[in-house]
Amino acid sequence: MVDLPPDPISMTIAIMTSPLFLKIAIFPGLTSIGIIAAVLTWLDRKITARVQLRIGPQYVSPLGGILQSFADLIKLAFKELIIPEKADRFFFVLAPVFGLVLGAGLIGLIPFSPESLISNVEVGLPVFLAFVTLSPTLVLLAGWSANSKYPFIGGLRSLFQQTGYEIPLWLSSLGVVMMAGTFNLTKIIQAQSTGWFIIPQLLGAIIFLVTSVAEQERIPFDLPEAEPEIIMGWQAEYPGFLFLAAQGAGFVKLYAFSALFTTIYLGGYLGPGPLPPLFWSLFKTTIMVVLVILLRGAFGRVRLDQLLRYGWTLLLGLAIVNIGITYFLIVGFPTI
């Protein structure tokens, strides 16, 4: 019996039904990321509106206008792609698209349940943070390539902000690594089976939350966009689909950072009762998303000098103090 080469159709079917492909394509991969980013856009507008005693999206679909963001998505995708004449076309197009791809790549590292995990990297936490450090480069290139005043100011502000807050972000997550003794996100979750890390790492968790909001450029740290002063900053010149990519990347980052916070501080998919692990991880992620959105309704924008001073002195100092506290916790209470 001679081995026949497998025919292309059955091979394609075999690839399409393999668990890894389904995970990448459907959940927690691309399809779910697209839908969740669209729903988060609606949630962001709706919650902010309710906090400010407005109604928010209302007319599209009976359920509080939940389909508004899908309608916006279709509208933006079919708009004419106008690229400014003096812009650097290569980076102008590349930066937001690459940013969206990077944002989606972050989701691939998060263990939503023991099964729904795309890539179990041994050093998952630093890989996640290293992906995040690429975004100021892209934002700076996006702001520069538009060859216009406001995008460039926005790009520079983003550079100040993101590079300044990266260091406290890395240092605050170090406390978790010290307690768990591993960089692997799944093992960090398993190390929390006796107690969530948010209790011994409360200071670290607060620093992580503040710096991650700054990395996402959300209010109160939305200086690079700052609609009233620099008119959306680095996104000002972006047309249709590219604006969609730039905005979408922001919401994918919101989702990814909330999922990471859940994973390293709130016990990830661990939870009581008969409910599946997937429910718990998504439930906690949703709570974190809503918390970050509520910040937008509650606070005003910080000034650039305040932002830099807090980042380089207060947060950096507290992150180092947190590492010291963690050391004494580990030495003093080895049972935790």
Partner 1 sequence: MTDPAFVVIAAATVIGAIMAVEARDLVYGAASLGISFLGVAALFILLDATYVAVFQIAVYIGAVVVLILFTVMLVGPVKGEAPMELKRTSLFAAVLVSMFLGIGGSLANANAFPGADMCGASCDLQKLSQTLLVNYGTQLEVLSFVLVAAVIGALTLAKAEKD
Comparison of 44 and 166: residue with beta carbon closer to partner 1: 166
Interface with partner 1, residue 91, by CB under 8 A: yes
Q: Which stretch binds partner 1 (CB under 8 A): 105-113, 159-167, 222-230, 296-304?
A: 159-167
Contacts of 156 (CB under 8 A, 6+ apart): 140, 143
Write each residue from 39 to 78 as x if it is in contact with partner 1 (CB under 8 A), else as -, in one continuous string: ----------------------------------------
Stretch that binds partner 1, among 14-22, 30-38, 126-134, 189-197 (CB under 8 A): 126-134
CB of 42 or CB of 183, closer to partner 1: 183
Distance between CA atoms of residues 55 and 322, nearest Å = 41
- Give residue 300's identity as a one-letter amino acid code: G
| HEC-encoded secondary structure of 294-309 | HHHHHCCCCCHHHHHH
Residue 156 near partner 1 by CB under 8 A: yes
Query: 233: exposed, middle or buried (C-beta count within 10 Å: 0-12, 13-18, 19+)?
Result: buried
Kindly report the length of the chain. Answer: 336
> Cα(285)–Cα(106) distance, rounded to whole angstroms?
14
Nearer to partner 1, 88 or 178 (CB): 88
Q: Which stretch binds partner 1 (CB under 8 A): 41-49, 158-166, 225-233, 239-247?
A: 158-166
Does 97 contact partner 1 by CB under 8 A? no
Binding of partner 1 by 178 (CB under 8 A): no
Cα–Cα distance, 182 to 123 (Å, whole number): 8
294 token code pair: 């509520």
For residue 218, the minimal CB distance to partner 1 (Å) is 20
Q: State the nearest-atom distance from the C-beta of 143 to partner 1, in Å.
A: 9
Q: Is 101 in the site for partner 1 (CB under 8 A)?
A: no
Question: Is 205 in a helix, a strand, or coil?
Answer: helix
Binding mask 211-240 for partner 1 (x = CB under 8 A): ------------------------------
| Minimum distance, C-beta of residue 144 to partner 1, in the bound complex (Å) | 5
**Identity of the residue, 64 or 126, whose beta carbon is nearer to partner 1 in the bound complex:** 126
The DSSP secondary structure of 313-325, one letter per residue, reads IIIHHHHHHHHHH
CB 117 within 8 A of CB 111: yes
Least distance from partner 1 to the Cβ atom of residue 40, Å: 26
The span of 19-27, 36-44, 123-131, 312-320 binding partner 1 (CB under 8 A) equals 123-131
Q: What angle separates helix 202-215 from helix 149-180, to the nearest 10 degrees? A: 160
177 binds partner 1 (CB under 8 A): no
Cα 220 to Cα 314: distance, rounded to the nearest angstrom: 17
The continuous run of DSSP H or E covering 240 comes out as helix 240-265
**Does position 88 bind partner 1 by CB under 8 A?**
yes
Q: Which of 183, 196, 208, 241 binds partner 1 (CB under 8 A)?
A: 183
Rounded Cα–Cα distance for residues 173 and 175 (Å): 5
**Distance, CA of 261 to CA of 198 (rounded, Å):** 10
Residues binding partner 1 (CB under 8 A): 88, 91, 121-123, 126-127, 129-131, 133-134, 136-137, 140-141, 144, 152, 155-156, 159, 163, 166, 170, 183
